[in-house]
């Protein structure tokens, strides 16, 4: 790879003329991997213009041909699965197995995009009035934009552009500037799969490049995943410019633990969901709510978490990797320090070190108990390997606590009681629910359905909702006249 990462515009990888570049660092070693450019305004506009020009041809490509492109693409992604994961691990810090999981969850969405034709089928009703038929079908929007975060540099871009493109749109992607090599590699394989020139563009950068997508008149729809403040900015700015927007934002995900749950499996699932990927997941479990006697399991969680150690991606013993950046680590450590004043810290990972990697952004597993809902650490998405424990007496108290939270991304309940599970899934005000599943990210034939402050928009990512998001419905009402005399002008709204 060249010292400066290229942009991908009009089917070509091209070096930016920008004067602004950001070093992309391995967060475990601080090795400089590349420098990412912040695309100039002219480069961003050129990418959008190329996508707009290409759309007029691409929208007329039959869905089966688009499907065959996605079939070829998912085959290449599978062939290069480990290569992509290695690149991802180096720039993001995830351990190798977690990186492979990141890539695989994206491949699953491409598999769905490979079967786009049935999802694009419209509706027909014959003889809606005498001699009149009606039918509807889906048509693409035009140029769509995507803004993706650092924590899933393969999966989340693959949530977006394969579905948008298979629906007949073209796409401009602005990935995270913190780990941009993985999205470029995804684009390389897309070209190798046979993607036509101009169907996909990648512009790198930060806020200015995002705002170009949000305000450009040729961008019809925006998909975003990231933090709450940025998500609100994206939604407000995009909709102010009359664009269709789906913005996935922050979370505070709770796991409710019933005393009848399988103790060992529940403890293991809590630990994995809390500290996996260093807690840098929008679906991480950051709050465990213990009902009744299950509070006695907190010591088991402390013991289990104390055995998990972060480390470099290539070490198979590494439980998880570093925090993505120095600034992000400082934020996590600051919240841990705040938490020590608000609650009881049973396990403190603030001073974590890893042999031979003194400059890594390490934070060890951290556990708090005696947490209250008005504390800073409860109200803030920490985005680190930090678990908060809250104890209640009844399932209803747990439900009330979860429902009072402003976020609604994901939640889970661990229990052996069918009635408790049904009550929870029926009454909880959260969009994605796991029953004895800690991180209930839906498979791509469903949709990713966050609620409340975790999502701004109407239609969600991947699945059937993504098809609706990336298309417009056209409804046709038609009649064919037979020979005969006209009955005169119809001056009413009624079909005759």
The burial class, CB within 10 Å (0-12 / 13-18 / 19+), for 370 is: middle
CA 470 – CA 79 distance, rounded (Å): 28
- 148 vs 150: CA distance, rounded Å: 7
Q: Which residue has the tokens 């909709």?
A: 239
Instruction: Examine the residue annotation and report whether 282 is marked as an active-site residue of this protein.
Output: yes
> Which among 223, 204, 221, 89 has a CA at the least distance from the CA of 159?
223
H-run or E-run covering 388: strand 386-392
79-112 in b/e form (b: 16+ CB < 10 A) is ebbeebbbbbbbbbbbbbebbbbbbbbbbbbbbb
Using the Cα atoms of residue 179, residue 185, residue 188 and residue 189 in order, give the sign of their dihedral.
negative
Give the number of other Cβ atoms within 10 Å of residue 213's Cβ: 27
Catalytic position from the list 144, 282, 345, 391: 282
With beta carbons less than 8 A apart as the criterion, state whether 177 and 147 touch.
Answer: no
DSSP string over 343-386: SEEEE--TT---TT-TTS-----EEEES--TTSHHHHS---SSE
Q: 30: which 2 tokens?
A: 């601080």
Decide if 248 contacts 231 (C-beta within 8 A): yes
Q: Which helix (H) or strand (E) holds 174?
A: strand 170-174
Given a contact cutoff of 8 angstroms between Cβ atoms, the answer to whether 247 and 234 are in contact is yes
Query: 382-406: b or e for each residue (b if 16 or more CB lie within 10 Å)?
Result: bbbbbbbbbbbeebebbbebbeebe
Residues designated catalytic: 282
């Amino acid at each position: 790879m060249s010292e400066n990462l290229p942009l991908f515009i009009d089917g070509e990888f091209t070096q930016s003329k920008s004067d602004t570049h950001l070093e992309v660092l391995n967060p475990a070693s601080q090795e400089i991997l590349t420098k990412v450019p912040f695309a100039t305004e002219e480069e961003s506009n050129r990418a959008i213009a190329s996508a707009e020009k290409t759309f007029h041809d691409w929208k007329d490509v039959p869905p089966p041909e688009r499907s065959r492109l996605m079939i070829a693409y998912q085959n290449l992604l599978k062939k290069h699965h480990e290569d992509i994961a290695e690149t991802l691990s180096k720039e993001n810090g995830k351990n190798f197995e977690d990186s492979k999981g990141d890539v695989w969850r994206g491949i699953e969405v491409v598999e769905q995009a490979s079967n786009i034709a049935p999802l694009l089928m419209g509706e027909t009703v014959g003889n809606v009035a005498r001699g009149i038929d009606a039918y509807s079908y889906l048509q693409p929007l035009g140029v769509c934009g995507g803004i993706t975060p650092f924590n899933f540099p393969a999966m989340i871009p693959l949530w977006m552009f394969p579905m948008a493109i298979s629906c007949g749109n073209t796409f401009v992607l602005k990935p995270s500037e913190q780990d941009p090599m993985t999205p470029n590699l995804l684009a390389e394989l897309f070209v190798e799969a046979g993607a036509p020139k101009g169907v996909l563009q990648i512009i790198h950068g930060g806020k200015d490049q995002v705002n170009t997508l949000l305000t450009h008149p040729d961008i019809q729809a925006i998909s975003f995943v990231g933090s709450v403040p940025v998500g609100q900015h994206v939604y407000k700015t995009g909709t102010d410019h009359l664009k269709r927007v789906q913005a996935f934002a922050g979370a505070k995900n709770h796991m409710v633990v019933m005393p009848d749950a399988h103790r060992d499996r529940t403890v293991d699932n809590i630990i994995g969901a809390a500290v996996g990927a260093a807690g840098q997941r929008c679906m991480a479990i950051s709050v465990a709510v213990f009902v009744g006697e299950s509070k006695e399991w907190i010591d088991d969680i402390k013991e289990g978490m104390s055995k998990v150690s972060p480390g470099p991606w290539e070490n198979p013993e590494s439980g998880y990797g570093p925090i993505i950046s120095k600034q992000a680590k400082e934020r996590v450590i600051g919240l841990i320090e705040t938490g020590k004043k608000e609650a009881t810290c049973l396990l403190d990972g603030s001073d974590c070190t890893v042999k031979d990697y003194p400059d890594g952004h390490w934070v060890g597993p951290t556990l708090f108990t005696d947490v209250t809902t008005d504390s800073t650490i409860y109200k803030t998405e920490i985005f680190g390997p930090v678990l908060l424990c809250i104890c209640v007496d009844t399932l209803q108290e747990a439900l009330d606590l979860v429902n009072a939270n402003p976020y609604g991304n994901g939640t889970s309940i661990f229990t052996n009681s069918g009635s408790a599970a049904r009550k929870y899934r029926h009454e909880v005000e959260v969009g994605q629910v796991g029953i004895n599943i800690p991180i209930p990210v839906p498979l791509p034939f469903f949709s990713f359905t966050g609620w409340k402050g975790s999502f701004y928009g109407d239609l969600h990512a991947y699945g059937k909702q993504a098809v609706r998001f990336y298309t417009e419905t056209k409804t046709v009402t038609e009649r064919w006249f037979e020979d005969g005399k006209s009955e005169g002008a119809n001056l009413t709204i009624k079909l005759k």
